[in-house]
Structure 1
Amino acid sequence: MNQVPQPGIGELPSLRQLNRATLIALGAAAVILVTTVLPAEYGVDPTGVGRLLGLTEMGKVKRAEAASHAVPATPVAAAPAASPAPALKAGERVEVKLTLAPNEGREVKATMKAGGEFDYRWATDGAEVRFELHGEPAGAASDDYTSYEKGSSAGASGKFRAPFDGTHGWYWKNRTDQPVTITVTATGDFEKFAALP
């Protein structure tokens, strides 16, 4: 068996060398925190490096996902009572407009049969909001839903096809400190298209 020689007192690092190594390690950790961890995890990018590396958008999407699944302990603001949606004719264009207070979330849903389709367009009055396009089967429990798309945006458009009978639509959350107005229009095969209270 080989014995490892023990270093002599002159070979050990001095207190000054240890302090210097500690300061270098702390500095490196701070640079990594500011340039990669904050943008990738929280969407906060004080230096702009996270944007160049594509990490800031990843952090914003993570926060949007976390916010869409968070259940507030108390309601932020009382929503106005929703009036019953009028009966729709096939192919009728419907427009819904709602204003979200800071940190408020709301939904607009279409009641559809499996295979039904609609064309949609939604846009804010400027600011990006967190969104999730999702659906719930008819008669499902409150936590039984299918997510189709989520992220942060100031608008989107396209065509949606219902994979099952139920309600399908968007949840938006305003993460800014100003009110945001969202206008959504849809044309297609749905029984009802309205904001939820």
Structure 2
Amino acid sequence: MSQVLITGGTGLVGDHLLRMLIQEKRVSGIAAPTRRPLADIPDVFNPHDPQLTDALAQVSTPVDIAFCCLGTTRREAGSKEAFVHADYTLVIDTALTAKKLGASHFLVVSALGASAHSPFFYNKVKGEMEEALIAQQWPRLTIVRPSMLLGNRQKRRFNESLMAPLFQLLPGNWKSIDARDVARAMLREALSPSQEGVNIIPSGKLREIAQGEA
């Protein structure tokens, strides 16, 4: 039985994952700190505060596994600084909290093309986040890199709506992926005796794991 911490539980992937965790018999407890309170989510410890770091600080129960599904865009965040705070700082805060609480496996949603050396701001921040997590030397660190996510967002992203039909036609890792499949793959990885150390899973592999083909 595992105690779990999850941030980003109100997002596209995180919402699916949180509901899967609630139904998972091998999970004995869930802490899901959020900026705003969760609605219609039973049996979950949900400290909430507009400053997510303050909500994280309210979690004191030991955990075994931690998930971070935080993610936004520069447009949604409103500025480069706000984007870095959401997609880098808060991710690292989640990891540090999880490690302090005893977690041995950290799973995080990154992005296809993430690289600290990327000329693209979004991918560069994602890559820097990955490098910072790797530097923490987790016993198990799982980094998932989905392509364009499909699913019903509370707020539509114009660029994703425009590009979604194209990405559904692309091959391999570039083909868009359902957020539910990303969540399912993360849960399977978390509860399986996979390799220790750093495991980076590209989008195509996520789809295989979600469909039970890996």
Question: Shorter-chain-normalised TM-score: which range?
Answer: under 0.3
Greater RCO (CA < 8 Å, at least 6 residues apart): 1
Task: Calculate the TM-score normalised by the size of structure 1.
Answer: 0.27
Q: Which has the larger radius of gyration?
A: 1
Task: Calculate the TM-score normalised by the size of structure 2.
Answer: 0.26
Question: Which has more strand, going by share of residues?
Answer: 1
